[in-house]
Amino acid sequence: MRILEPVRDVAPSPLASCQIGVDVGGTFTDLVLIDGCGAVRCVKVPSTPGEPALSTLQGIDELIGPAGARQFQSIHHTHSNTLALNTLIERTGANIGMLVTQGFRDLMEIQRLSIPDPMRYSSRRPQAVVPRRLVREVRERLNADGSIETPLDASQLLEAAAEIVAAGAQGIVICFLHSYRSPVHERRAREIIGEKFPDLPVDISSEVWPQAREFERGMLATINSYVRPRIERYVTVLAQGLLSRSISSAPRGARSNGGRELLSSMGQKPAVALFSGPAAGVAGAASVALDAGWADADLMTLDIGGTSADIGVIRRGKPILSSEEHIADFPILFPTVAVSAIGAGGGSIIWADPTGSVKVGPRSVGADPGPACYGRSDALVPALTDAFLVVGYLSADRKLGDKLVMSLERSLQAMSRLGDRVGVPAEGIADGAIQIAIAMMAAEATSTLSRRGVDAPEFRMVAYGGAGPLLGALVAEEVFIDTVLIPPLPGALSAMGAARSDIHGDFLRPIYQEVEIIDPTQFASQLDSISRDARDWLGEEVEGLPVTGMNITYSLDMRYEGQGFDVAVDIDRETLERFDRSVLLKRFHDAHQAEFGYASESARVWIKELRAHAVGYLAKTVHAHKGAEAAQPCAPRARTIRLRGAAVHASVYSRENLEIGSRLEGPAIIEQMDTTTLIPDGWICECHQSGALVLHRAG
């Protein structure tokens, strides 16, 4: 892959097609363009939280230059962001009402009765997204097999809906008991409400995701309705801006499963994009690892951005998907790239508690006003980026993202104010805060890898994001990882992941029966139904894209009778069509044995759900990185930095001047437009032919 920067020096081939990836972050919006020859361009623009689409459009203007869209035959663009995620976390979504089966009004209050952290006396269940005053009961009841126990009371339904609307609800979610088995009551209720309130958005849980567990299904439908207005606003402003720039191709959005989907369809189900930004980053990490020759690798990913540090896991070259992720302590049933986040990003506030102990995060200064070094506020609130500047990891002589001027003086003032309170000099506060952040990330990484059943020393790391390359090796030391890969454009890897992503979609059908009593004819009907939906969806999504192939894979969620968890068993279509019970049971027993170390072959086995995963593979152009063209590399500069509590001398290099095969020993710093890489003492850095930096622990 050829990295060409800055953008203004690049002239794309006339009439070439291109892929654009966008990642709207809390501080910066990153954009990359991959042209038909494989050349990559990158820009960073300050995010505009009040109207996120504006920074995207500004970045596109800078990316394609004065010649505009007419220089390309086609422009395919995919957008990742954390808009839906932040809307949920910050509780800034729409006012939503809910209709539930009679007797279940407290569904969102009771939740699962558990509390997030039972070892803390202050731990409480998260506040319900839908307040109880906007929840109404409806007389209706389905049995567990989907048959009707109590018919839907239409008059009471309308009365309840009218009360919710009068109370200020901007939308209604319907979650009836056992609707995953039969959507008949939910669909009829939506029709009745639509006749009375034609402009009122109504979501039904059985269409958002037809899975058992009323609270989880209702929560997912609620989130979908809660975040939709903000996503619709983003899509509307973006679409208008693209048309005014003569970009007529349909925009696509990154999904939480690491794929992409038309924004027009995603607008109806925005909950599928809750993790789109982090998921695109993990997918991008898998892609650059493959470019570096790490095929089928086991990797830990570390993405340190402006507000958080996100940790993911890649097994055998593929991001791990999970249907048990949580956001703000709420369960998310959609298949999602498994990412764990902590509040330790570049904008995380450094503060002291009443005892004088220095803390980092989870609160962030955000993009505006940003860290003290940005100079946008007189408040002088110190953040982790200020600490990087004070200890010398960052240089005040370089603009952050080639745009923001950083003030070392303001960072020192902010650190000194905090230091005066706890009796520590500014440099000590900065160094201590960095070590605290590293310890937080290492603890979360250890926990994340343990939950996935893996041993950290057997893994390698991909570090990216604005600050990931700065702390990647230091975090790796704490978790005993010896090799770290830094992508060619680490600060824009989520945008790169979006640009290079394939089409991915997930589908589900409820089964919920013991294997021995399942009717093969009924199962075949479910298989045909889910296959048809997956094929139709793929056909719509790949239209106009350079598709090289399509595939649909299937799996069954199975468990022993009475078991409280499932095992996902991959099954080919032919085996499912035959529905050979002995084969299905053997596959499950083998999978259970492999995952948990035992199998109970005499126990009864249930199939909970049938799943399908549809993929449309897109053509990708990858070229070898050319490296520096100079006959001799430029001599490094010298800088004194604080590392592990001591002052050391570090060599400072410009990444664009490094040749393929270059070998650097730490302590050293490598600077580039979108990030800075720290090579600690005891580490060696090699410049790979793919353009990546590979850091190894010496010895």
553-574 pLDDT tens trace: 999 999 999 998 899 999 999 9
pLDDT given for residue 13 in this prediction: 43
CB-based contact 441:311 (threshold 8 Å):
yes
Instruction: Give the per-residue pLDDT at 625.
Output: 54
Both tokens of residue 637? 């500069």
Q: State which amino acid sits at residue 99.
A: L
Give the helix/strand (H/E) hosting 551.
Answer: strand 547-560
**pLDDT tens-digit series, residues 378-411:** 778 999 999 999 999 998 888 776 677 889 999 9
Q: What is the pLDDT of residue 338?
A: 87
- 54-63, 76-85, 139-148: which has the minimum mean pLDDT? 76-85
For residues 148-174, give the mean pLDDT. Answer: 97
Q: Report how far residue 306's alpha carbon sits from residue 301's, in angstroms, rounded to the nearest whole number.
A: 16
Give yes or no for a contact between 270 and 82, defined as CB atoms under 8 angstroms apart: no
- What residues does each domain of the chain span? 2-88+234-257, 92-229, 503-618, 637-697
- CATH code: domain 503-618 is 3.30.1490
Cα separation, 31 vs 15, whole angstroms: 20
Handedness of CA 321, 324, 327, 331 (dihedral sign): positive
For residue 39, the model assigns a pLDDT of 84
Would the pLDDT of 576 be above 90?
yes
pLDDT score recorded for residue 252: 94
Q: Which residues does residue 191 pair with via DSSP β-bridges, in sequence order?
A: none
Q: Inform me whether the pLDDT recorded for 595 exceeds 80.
A: yes
SS3 per-residue string spanning 336-390: EECEEEECCCCCEEEEECCCCCEEEEEEECCCCCCCHHHCCCCCCCCEHHHHHHH
Q: Other CB atoms closer than 10 Å to residue 145's CB: what's the count?
A: 10
Contacts of 146 (CB under 8 A, 6+ apart): 178, 181, 182
* Per-residue tokens: 313: 């896991």
Q: Is 314 helix (H, G, I), strand (E, B) or coil?
A: strand
Confidence of residue 139 (pLDDT cuts 50, 70, 90): very high
Cα 203 from Cα 224, distance rounded (Å): 8
How far, in Å, CA of 512 to CA of 515, rounded?
9
Displacement of CA 574 from its chain's centroid (Å): 34
Q: Is 15 a residue whose pLDDT tops 70?
A: no
What residues are paired with 513 via a beta bridge?
607
Q: Which fold has domain 92-229?
A: Rossmann fold (3.40.50)
Helix axes 83-90, 214-244, angle to 10 degrees: 130
- Confidence class of residue 489 from pLDDT cuts 50, 70 and 90? very high
* CATH code for the domain defined by 2-88+234-257: 3.30.420.40
Helix axes 154-166 and 184-196, enclosed angle (nearest 10):
60
Most confident region among 69-83, 104-118, 595-609 by mean pLDDT: 595-609
Integer Cα distance of 680 and 471 in angstroms: 9
Sign (positive or negative) of CA dihedral 331, 332, 335, 338: negative
Residue 610 near residue 511 (C-beta atoms within 8 A): yes
Q: What is the pLDDT of residues 441-453, one digit of tens each?
A: 999 999 888 877 7
Give the chain's mean pLDDT.
89
**Residue 168, Ramachandran bin (φ over 0: left; ψ between -120 and 50: alpha; else beta):** left
Upper half-sphere CA count for residue 451 (Cβ side, 13 Å): 16
Rounded CA separation 314/321 (Å): 9
* Residue whose structure tokens are 């996503």: 231
Is the pLDDT at 7 greater than 80, yes or no?
Answer: no
Residue 643 contacts by C-beta under 8 Å, 6 or more apart in sequence?
Answer: 391, 650, 667, 680, 681
Mean pLDDT of 144-154: 96
Q: Please answer whether residues 79 and 57 qualify as being in contact, where contact means their C-beta atoms are separated by less than 8 angstroms.
A: no
pLDDT greater than 90 at residue 418:
yes
Determine the 3-state secondary structure of 124 from DSSP. Answer: coil
Bond from prior residue into 66 cis (ω within 30 degrees of 0): no
Three-state secondary structure call for residue 460: strand
* Confidence category of residue 185, pLDDT binned at 50, 70, 90: very high
Which of these, 103, 111, 163, lies nearest to 133 by C-alpha position? 163
Residue type present at position 408: L
Q: What share of the chain is helix, strand, coil (3-state, %, to 5)?
A: 35, 30, 35
Question: Which one is predicted more confidently, 68 or 507?
Answer: 507
CA distance 152 to 139: 6
Q: How far is CA 266 from the centre of its chain?
A: 15
Assign 367 a pLDDT band (cuts: 50, 70, 90): low
Asked if residue 554 lies in contact with residue 612, where contact means CB atoms within 8 angstroms, the answer is yes
Give residue 70's pLDDT band: very low, low, confident or very high (50, 70, 90): confident
Number of Cβ atoms within 10 Å of the Cβ of 525: 12
Query: Rounded mean pLDDT of 412-427?
Result: 93
Confidence at residue 47, expressed as pLDDT on a 0 to 100 scale? 86
What is the per-residue pLDDT across 27-60, written as a single tens digit (0 to 9) for each? 789 999 988 777 888 898 888 888 999 999 999 9
Q: 404-443 burial, b if ≥16 CB within 10 A, otherwise e?
A: bebbbebbbbbbbebbeeeebebbbbbbbbbbbbbebbbe
| pTM: predicted TM-score of the whole model, two decimal places | 0.87
Q: What is the pLDDT of residues 625-677, one digit of tens each?
A: 555 544 445 678 899 999 988 999 999 999 989 999 999 998 999 999 889 99
Q: What is the DSSP letter of 59?
A: H
From the list 679, 678, 686, 684, the residue with the least C-alpha distance to 697 is: 684
Residues 6+ apart with CB under 8 A from 187: 204, 206
* The two three-digit tokens of residue 413, written as one number: 């003032």
pLDDT of amino acid 542: 92
Share of the chain above pLDDT 90, in %: 66
Per-residue model confidence as pLDDT tens digits over 89-99:
878 899 999 99
- Residue located via tokens 């990412």: 339
Q: Which residue has the higher pLDDT, 680 or 27?
A: 680
State the average pLDDT over residues 514-522: 96
Q: Which residues contact 132 (CB under 8 A, 6 or more apart)?
A: 105, 106, 108, 109
